[in-house]
């Protein structure tokens, strides 16, 4: 999936109030960009980091730039827009590029289920059980090559695991899909030290029949696309 508007480089000054980031463009212009990431962004919001912004001329938007990528010193990239993975994954699911889910031809996003939740994708196909797919954007890395989720306590994430477990027990197919928005990661783990409650919820859900899978992404300033499957350590 290509970015609809070419990205431009900048330097991060600070990220604050979760959704705001002060930046300096290469020509020295100081601007404020929208940060589409409610998480902690541990290790990603370091002042003076090289980042990539998407400009816009939408009169309905107060901020004329959106923060999309962090470029690391080693040339790797991390995507910081948590909405982007679902847009990219929807296209991949519809094109049947996600091998474990390729038997499903109907992809319906944002369907209500459980008590107060919406599933990211409901997949259906005649003769197959419906598949409930919850997607998590993974950006944390504390050890070389290892991506971890979550980067902060997520009560909502734990609730999602319980609701997926209920779908599995009801005879549906239930999937938690970790989409790693880092080009420097080759494996995934649950950050139990950050959120032990979420880690227990994942373990309980997998025991109940929820499938856990992870995929990498290919990222550069031109766009983002689905990468290969990655191994997950759930313990």
Q: Label residue 60 by pLDDT band (50, 70, 90).
A: confident
Region 56-77: what's the mean pLDDT? 94
What pLDDT, in 10s, does the model give residues 20-54? 999 999 999 999 999 999 889 999 999 999 999 99
Nearest-5° angle of CA 128, CA 133, CA 135? 160
CATH of 8-74, one of 3.30.70.2750, 3.30.110.70, 2.40.50.580, 3.40.50.2300: 2.40.50.580
The whole model's pTM is what? Answer: 0.94
Contact 150, 39 (CB under 8 A): yes
8-74 and 84-233 in the same fold = no
Burial environment of residue 20 by CB neighbours within 10 A (0 to 12, 13 to 18, 19 or more): middle
Contact 69, 77 (CB under 8 A): yes
Tell me which architecture the domain covering 84-233 has in CATH: 3-Layer(aba) Sandwich (3.40)
Query: Could you tell me the two tokens for 234?
Result: 């759930």
Any idea where the domains of the chain sit in the sequence? 8-74, 84-233
d(CA 64, CA 6): 13
What pLDDT, in 10s, does the model give residues 112-133? 987 778 999 999 999 999 999 9
């Amino acid at each position: 999936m290509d970015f609809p508007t070419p990205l431009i480089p900048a330097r991060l000054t600070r990220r604050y109030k979760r959704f705001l980031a002060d930046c300096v463009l290469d020509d020295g212009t100081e601007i404020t960009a929208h940060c589409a990431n409610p998480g902690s962004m541990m290790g990603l919001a370091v002042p003076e980091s090289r980042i990539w912004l998407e400009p816009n001329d939408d009169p309905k938007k107060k901020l004329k730039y959106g923060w999309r990528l962090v470029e690391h010193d080693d040339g790797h990239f991390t995507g910081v827009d948590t909405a982007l993975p679902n847009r990219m994954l929807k296209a991949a699911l519809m094109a049947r590029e996600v091998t474990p889910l390729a038997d499903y031809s109907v992809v319906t996003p944002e369907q209500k289920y459980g008590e107060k939740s919406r599933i990211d994708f409901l997949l259906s196909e005649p003769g197959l059980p419906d598949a409930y797919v919850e997607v998590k954007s993974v950006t944390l890395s504390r050890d070389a090559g290892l991506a971890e989720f979550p980067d902060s306590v997520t009560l909502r994430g734990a609730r999602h695991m319980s609701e997926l477990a209920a779908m599995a027990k009801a005879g549906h197919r239930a999937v938690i899909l970790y989409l790693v928005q880092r080009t420097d990661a080759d494996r995934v783990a649950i950050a139990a030290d950050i959120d032990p409650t979420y880690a227990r919820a994942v373990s309980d859900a997998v025991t109940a029949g929820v499938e856990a899978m992870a995929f990498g992404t290919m990222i550069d300033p031109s766009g983002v696309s689905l990468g290969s499957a990655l191994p997950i350590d759930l313990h």
